[in-house]
Amino acid sequence: MALETGSLRNKYQELIDAAELKGVTNMQVRQQGSVMYIDGTAPSARVKQELWEIYGRIDPNYRAGDLVLNINSFETVEESLEEYEVVSGDNLSKIAGKYNLTWRDIYEANKDKIQDPDLIQPGWKLKIPKK
């Protein structure tokens, strides 16, 4: 059963609102038949990834087939990150404060390295996302 125009927009309203709030430019939201199209350019690779994460929460297996998310970014994920070398006495909150971020921002960017956010080691090179 296809969703009506209003209910399909309602389904993805959180994603549309987030794209607007996060500064996606040239955004176009349109529906053709039973498919919603969201196009635009994200200000960073991080914003693009955050939008895909929202989409993943709405449609966890991307199986509904009722959305085409076409968000571009001129920046690659690697370009949106700085590197910081952990020194003795550091913790994620302390590092985050230097970059006006939260500890969770740094943790999310380094999940491949950090298993426990309370345990980081001097010498580790952490990716620092740009705001």
| Residue 1: per-residue pLDDT | 39
Helix (H) or strand (E) holding 98, with range, is helix 92-98
Spatial CB neighbours of 121, under 8 Å, sequence gap ≥ 6: 86
User: Which regions of the chain are under pLDDT 50?
Assistant: 1-3
Distance, in Å, from the CA atom of 35 to the CA atom of 27, rounded to the nearest integer, reads: 16
Task: Pick the closest to residue 76 from 47, 100, 105, 51 (CA basis).
Answer: 47
This prediction has a pTM of 0.56
Distance, in Å, from the CA atom of 123 to the CA atom of 131, rounded to the nearest integer, reads: 24
| Residue 129: per-residue pLDDT | 83
